[in-house]
């Protein structure tokens, strides 16, 4: 089924726009998990896997999706990637959509290999993830293999605008004022490209399988993004630790209740570190934090 439709159904069924970011970091894990830590990268990968599995279990009734951040697993090499694959399978078994936050970007057969790595079936098994994030700098042919996967049910989130200080270095530069075409910030040009590419993948829900990553700390930018990409699901990282808020999310949702995924990572999965800790059950704090975020954007 088209990913836009799968997203729309999942949001409706679960009454949630929450996407929980899985960002496991050694120095932040629950003491109970650290106590049984085995040495080396294999041991750390196992700890990440257990932590993420418990987080998935804790948030499964509050979230609609999880977004594992590939970098943290990749830093543990092959062990980390194997652990990640198991976490993704668990999350899908729990009925959650899995968005691999990989921000890959390359061309030709390399781009195809990345699509195969994350959103295409392998060896008759389902794909590792339902959707993947990608970087647009290499242009439309770098996105083609992912679009081909979208035709088979995968989802794509193209990085359009981020919320870090460096976003202004390239993304905010004005393009097109040489008269060749419309003058606008580079990221808006990328947004147009995403809307254009996504038009062929709009499902019966009215949402496209081709989404966009929009940093959620700039409400005006999110409003503009929604205008430029009316049928594009927006993935909004940066709610919680990075800031963001209800107005931004409202703008992002637009006409469709499933038009935005609110991604919260540290504010949920490490909620128990923040004065909430209950001895013996950090998972309750995680569940409560997920419920708080979910409800804060559901009127």
Smallest distance from a second copy to CB 95, Å: 23
Dist. CA 270–CA 21, nearest whole Å: 11
Place of tokens 């242009």: 139
Dist. CA 198–CA 13, nearest whole Å: 24
Q: Considering beta carbons, is residue 5 or 23 the nearer one to a second copy?
A: 23
Q: Considering beta carbons, is residue 24 or 254 the nearer one to a second copy?
A: 24
Smallest distance from a second copy to CB 295, Å: 27
Smallest distance from a second copy to CB 263, Å: 13
Smallest distance from a second copy to CB 280, Å: 28
Q: Is 103 a catalytic residue?
A: yes
Dist. CA 228–CA 290, nearest whole Å: 30
Dist. CA 94–CA 185, nearest whole Å: 40
Cβ distance 119 to 132 under 8 Å? yes
Q: Considering beta carbons, is residue 197 or 234 the nearer one to a second copy?
A: 197
Smallest distance from a second copy to CB 279, Å: 27
How many CA atoms, within 13 angstroms, populate the side-chain half-sphere of residue 234? 35
Smallest distance from a second copy to CB 242, Å: 9
Place of tokens 């794909």: 127
Q: Considering beta carbons, is residue 50 or 189 the nearer one to a second copy?
A: 189
Q: Considering beta carbons, is residue 48 or 297 the nearer one to a second copy?
A: 48
H helix intervals, the chain: 3-14, 31-35, 40-59, 70-74, 77-93, 108-119, 140-150, 167-170, 186-198, 219-228, 246-253, 266-269, 282-296
Dist. CA 190–CA 6, nearest whole Å: 25
Q: One of 103, 257, 266, 273 is an active-site residue; which one?
A: 103
Cβ distance 244 to 263 under 8 Å? no
Q: Considering beta carbons, is residue 193 or 253 the nearer one to a second copy?
A: 193
The residue ranges that bind a second copy (CB under 8 A) are: 23, 25, 40-41, 69, 71-72, 74-75, 77-85, 103-111, 113-114, 116-117, 122-123, 128, 135-143, 159, 162, 164-171, 173-178, 180, 183, 186, 189-190, 193
Cβ distance 241 to 235 under 8 Å? no
Cβ neighbours of residue 282 closer than 8 Å, sequence gap 6 or more: 30, 32, 272
Supply the residues annotated as catalytic. Answer: 103
């Amino acid at each position: 089924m088209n990913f836009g439709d799968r997203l729309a159904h999942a949001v409706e069924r679960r009454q949630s726009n929450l996407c929980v970011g899985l960002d496991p970091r050694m120095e932040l894990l629950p003491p109970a998990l650290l106590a049984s830590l085995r040495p080396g990268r294999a041991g750390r990968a196992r700890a990440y896997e257990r932590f993420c599995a418990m987080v998935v279990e804790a948030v499964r009734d509050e979230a609609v999706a999880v977004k594992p951040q590939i970098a943290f697993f990749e830093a543990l090499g092959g062990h980390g990637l194997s652990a990640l694959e198991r976490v993704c399978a668990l999350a899908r078994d729990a009925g959650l959509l899995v968005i691999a936050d990989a921000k890959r970007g390359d061309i030709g057969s390399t781009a195809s290999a990345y699509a195969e790595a994350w959103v295409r079936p392998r060896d008759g098994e389902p794909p590792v993830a339902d959707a993947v994030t990608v970087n647009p700098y290499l242009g439309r042919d770098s996105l083609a293999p992912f679009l081909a996967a979208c035709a088979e049910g995968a989802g794509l989130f193209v990085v359009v605008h981020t919320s870090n200080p460096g976003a202004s270095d390239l993304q905010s530069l004005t393009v097109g004022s040489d008269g060749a075409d419309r003058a606008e910030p580079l990221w808006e040009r990328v947004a147009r490209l995403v809307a254009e590419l996504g038009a062929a993948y709009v499902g019966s829900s009215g949402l496209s399988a081709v989404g966009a990553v929009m940093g959620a700390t700039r409400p005006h930018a999110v409003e503009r993004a929604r205008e430029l990409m009316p049928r594009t699901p927006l993935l909004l990282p940066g709610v919680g630790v990075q800031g963001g808020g209800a107005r931004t999310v409202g703008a992002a949702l637009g006409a469709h209740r499933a038009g935005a995924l609110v991604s919260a990572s540290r504010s949920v999965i490490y909620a128990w570190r923040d004065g909430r800790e209950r001895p013996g059950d950090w998972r309750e704090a995680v569940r409560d934090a997920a419920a708080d975020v979910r409800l804060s954007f559901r009127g």
